[in-house]
Amino acid sequence: MNVRQFAWLAPFALLACSPDQQPPAQPPLEGARIGGAFTLTDQDGKRVSDTAFAGKYRIMYFGYTFCPDVCPVDVQNLAAGLKLLEKSDPALAQRVVPIFVTIDPERDTPAVLKQFVGAFHPRMVGLTGSPEEIAKVAKEFAIFYQRGKGTPDGYLMDHSRQAYLMSPEGKPLALLPQDGTPQAVANEIKRWVK
């Protein structure tokens, strides 16, 4: 076999093996049955449906404002990640809406939500509703929650704590690393927001 006969194939072989030519990764939650239509009440007392966010990427986090530790830390980290993205790529960051959905509608009135979300990010939307509305949207987003132990100040809520990045069509793309650094949150958003 004459090696020169195949020398003309070398550039194509290198191109085929180049890491830059690999197909783009698919979002890890692409095709998952997470999310759905909803109509809830925002922090200003207005009824808002999922269609109000059409065309925008969404960070969806479910928690409650009376949470003593986990929810405020998670929301702070997610908001800090979005703020980093606003500094490095303002146009891209403007396409992302952070949304906090309460799983404690008895205590999380619009006024309570307004104070809570306003403490973390000026564009964060807080959503509440009737217990039935919250149960429906939590089910759509595969969120577990239940009333937990009583405390001297009231009660705690047990709940799952994933933060979803959703597409402009309301489809799931990825989980955001709320346990990581704000930079890790910003990086993951930038990875999937186009």
* DSSP category for residue 160: -
SS3 content of the chain, % helix, strand, coil (to 5): 40, 25, 40
Contact indicator for 86, 60 with CB cutoff of 8 Å: no
In the sheet with 39-42, reading across from the earlier edge strand, the strands are 47-49, 39-42, 125-128, 96-102, 57-63, 163-166, 172-175
71 belongs to an annotated ligand binding site: yes
In single-letter form, the type of residue at position 122 comes to: P
Phi, psi of 78 (to 5 degrees): -65, -45
Cβ atoms of 170 and 35 within 8 Å: the answer is: yes
Residue 117: what residue type? Answer: V
Query: Does the annotation place 159 within a ligand binding site?
Result: yes
Residue type, 88: S
* 67 annotated ligand binder: yes
Calpha distance 158→160 (Å, rounded): 7
Query: How many Cα atoms occupy the beta-carbon half-sphere of 166 within 13 Å?
Result: 26
Residues at the binding site for Cu cation are 67, 71, 159
Which residues are documented as binding site? Answer: 67, 71, 159
